[in-house]
Structures are given as structure tokens and as C-alpha cells.
Amino acid sequence: MKQFYFLIITFFILSCNKKKNEPISIDIPEVEVTKEGKIIAIDTAYLYSKKDSLLNIFYKSNNNHTFWLAFNCRENLLQLINNVENQGLNKNEFDYIKINNLEKRIFNLNDDELIDYDILLTQNLSRFISKASTGKLDPKELYNDWELKKNSPNTLELLLNFTKKDSFDYAVSSIKPSHKAYYSLEDAMKILEKFPDKNFTKLSLEGKLELNDTNNIIPEIKQRLIYWKDLKSTTNINSVYDIETKIAVKKFQLRHGLASDGVIGKGTVSALNFSKLDRKKQIIANIERWKWFPREFESEYIIINIPDYSLQFIKNKDTVRTHKIIVGTNKRTTPILSSKLSYVVFNPTWTVPPTILREDVIPASTKDRSYLTAKKITVFDSNNNVVTLENWNPQIAKSYRYVQSPGSYNSLGLVKIMFPNKFSVYLHDTNNRSYFSRENRSISSGCVRVQDPFELTEDLIEDKINWNLDSINSVVKKGKTKNVTINKKVYIHILYWTAFSKNGELHFRDDIYNLDMELYNKLRN
């Protein structure tokens, strides 16, 4: 210690003996420079002044030094921020103009400015993570028929993924939903951006157009089919609906979930009226919606896309069954939910739900009481006593319980598949299977009717000895109600998306519940 003080005193004596104009030699540590740029220490007090815990932890993990200035992935981050719309985000909610201006002047910035630039990049990345992982809006604040568990990814963990060198792409992919339908939307946005900007005048058509018909609207239809690349640009633009155009129309119809019959009707014309901007808004709405859906799916699950009228049964990422379905109307919507299948009911009875009771059964019964007999509906009072037609009182009709007997006439058909949910909806058969041939199958009262439900039920129970198709048919013929537990873990996800891409082509579905534009407007306001 004495030697230490001696050195200090000697230093000051020597310093004082220096000439006034002779500089004092002091070793100053140089700023570390990598091949990419500077690494600058950041004052922790300055970081704390930002009042952002994520920011503080991020830089603490980098020993409180700038990160992006010397990180060759800064270019990737700049590209990510400049292309946030590919993730359905609003570019104006990010500091992309300021960031790009700073990047242009990066070699002329002093150290304080470089620190601020580095922090600004991290703040925008943190903002991106928040919006890209869970979405901007909360569906429960928008809708009363959504029952999905809110996604709560670890934002800090997602941010710290970027501190791992050479893992930028992995870090970005960890933020986004993992389902292939989400990535198909990203691809759809990229595909759409390749189309030129063009506004369409609204087309209208009375009646239908078929092969060899002539109409003044056909030249414009051909132009739009050429625009969307369903029709070759060398096509003769005249008023004749020729075979080449019919083939293009069928392709267009297939991409839009319409009956691919080549007949041009109101549905086809309506789809042709969508511009590039309209479709972009639709894709952005769907990207936001997918951020609300489950981030991970189980090994076995049923996924239903309401606007596509389709059900898929997935096992270990492989689609083993696909079924047509019928869903709720715009007034009686099928809810969006996730649940776990519990049991199957063969020869189910049907207790008429309140909405159908109020809007259908009671008005029809008041007009003609034989309606109840024709529908094989038994009425019970509050004491569970049968109410005869003579004693049925329309004044207290709502207080009764109405149960339809099992049988082929039953509205639920011959089987229903149950899962817990607060909306009392389920999957079921139907007593009118001809509806599955319809193009618009938004006609139920909220539950989901499934085509070929016995085949699906056999796979769900997965007991080929006791519950194969023959044994199922045998039980059904007896006409007695029987419950069968689904012992394995099979989940169900009833979701809603109207846009995707497939094999490099854009696909859209009719927005049957009118959710897309409303959601897009909320995202941009």
C-alpha cells in the first residue's frame, strides 16, 4: 500500500515539473471496432431513463454495449421493419422513416447518436414482437362469440433470441404463429404485391352467362381474368363467352371456393369486383386473426374453417380426413373456439335451444299446433310432465322444454359429437343431406353439420373391434340413444379465415360473417 501511495505522489510531482505546453501522456482505451462497426458502452443510467424493462435486460445481456451497430444482421432488421406490412402490421406505427434516415448517415453520426440509433432499433424490434406475436387487437373486446385462450408468448425470451449470433431468421420465426395457414398468408401477400395497382369499376349482371353467350360485360370479365392470371393475355377480347374463357372462369371459381362449373353468376361477378387493394386488406385482416388462434396444435385435432365449409382431421401433421360441413348463418353464427372432444351420441334426442325455440318453433306451433306432432317434438313442463297439444299454452310457451325424439327425422340426424363450450354447439349429422351439395352452406343455427359423420366418428373412437362402421350402423338401427366416450385426446379448433395461398396461387373465400373489412378498419384506426 505504501508503494502505491509513493507512485501516486511521484506521478503528481513529475506532472507538475512538466512544461505547461507539454502534453501529459495518459492511456485512453480505444473503442472496440469490428469489421461491421463500433461497439460503444451505454451508460446504464441513460438506459434506465427510458423506463423500459425489456430494453434494460436486452442491453444488460450484451454487457450494456450497443448491439446492432456491430451486428451484421442490422440489415435484416432494417428489412424487417420496412416490410412489417407482410406481417399484417401498420408501417406507420414504426419509426421506419427516422431509422432509414439515420442508416443513411450512420458513418457521420457521433457516439451519442449511434447509441440512440441502436436503442431505437431495439425499441422497434420490441414493438414488432408485441404486435406480430399476439396481434394488435383483442378478439374478446370485438366479438361475443369467441372462446379462445389468449396467447401469451414470452416477449422477453423472444427479444433475447436476437442476441444469439447468426440466429436472426430463427428469432423471427419464433415470434410468428407456426401453422402453415399463417405462412400461406405471408406468401399470399408476396404474390399479391406482384400484381399491378389497378382499381376496378363495379360489374353487375342480371341472370347468368354460359358458354357461347354474348354480353357487353364479357370483355371486362376477360380483362380481369387476364389481370388475375387465370386467362392468357393473348385471348381475343370480344363479347363472346368462348371455351378458353370458360376454362379460366372455372379456375377462378375454384380459387374462390365457388362451384367450378364455368357458369358466371352473381357469386363469380362479386369475386371479380375485388381489387388488389381489397384483397390486400382481406389478407391483412386474416394475418391479424391468425395471431389470435392457438400458436401450437396438438398431435390429433379437428380444424374447421367456417368460410371454407370444410373440416379436416389431422394426425401427426397429416390430413387423414376431409369433410364438407354446414355452418351457422350470419344471424346465427358458428362461434370461434378451441376445445377437446369428449363423447359421441348415437341416435341423439334434440332439446330445442332458446333461439330456435323463440324464432322458429313457437311461432310455427302458435300458427299450427300439429307442427309439434309433425316434427315429433314432445313438450315438457317445469315438473317434467308431458304437455299435450290441447293443454299447450302459447302464453307460457317459453317456459316449456321441447325435445325431439331420435330417428332419421331428427334435426341432429343419427349422431352428434360433443365437446365442452359455453355456446352449447357441437358437430352432428343432419336429416337433410342434400344441403351439402349447395355452394353456400351457411344455413344452420350455429352448430356444425358434417357430411359422412359415421366415417369420422369411427376414426375418432378408434376402436375397430367394437366401433367399426358395421357396429355403428347396427346400434343406429336399434334407434336407442347411446353415448360412447372418446378415450384418446382429440382436440377441435373452429376457426375463421378467408384468404390463403396454395401452390403459388391466391385463394379467397366469401366473408360470410362480414368480419374482414371491419377488422381491417379497426387495425388501421
**Cα(453)–Cα(457) distance, integer angstroms:** 6
Is residue 65 part of the annotated active site? The answer reads: no
DSSP helix/strand/coil, 501: strand
Q: Is 73 among the residues known to form the active site?
A: no
Q: Which three cell numbers stand for residue 314?
A: 389431422
* CB 361 within 8 Å of CB 352: yes
The active-site residue, picked from 179, 256, 323, 428, is 428
Closest CA to 302 of 494, 441, 455, 500: 494
Angle at 56 between CA 55 and CA 60, to 5 degrees: 120
Structural element, H or E, at residue 273? none
Question: Annotated catalytic residue: which of 73, 179, 256, 447?
Answer: 447
Contact 463, 469 (CB under 8 A): no
- Whole-number Å distance between alpha carbons of 83 and 479: 60
Q: Which residue has the cell 355452394?
A: 439
What DSSP string describes 348-408? --EEPPHHHIIIIIHHHHHH-THHHHHTTEEEE-TTSPEEPTTT--GGGGGGSEEEEPSST
CB 342 within 8 A of CB 349: no
Eight-state DSSP code of residue 201 = P
Greatest extent of the chain over all pairs of C-alpha atoms, in Å: 123
Cα–Cα distance, 478 to 173 (Å, whole number): 53
The residues facing 324 across adjacent strands are 310
Q: Enumerate the active-site residues.
A: 428, 447
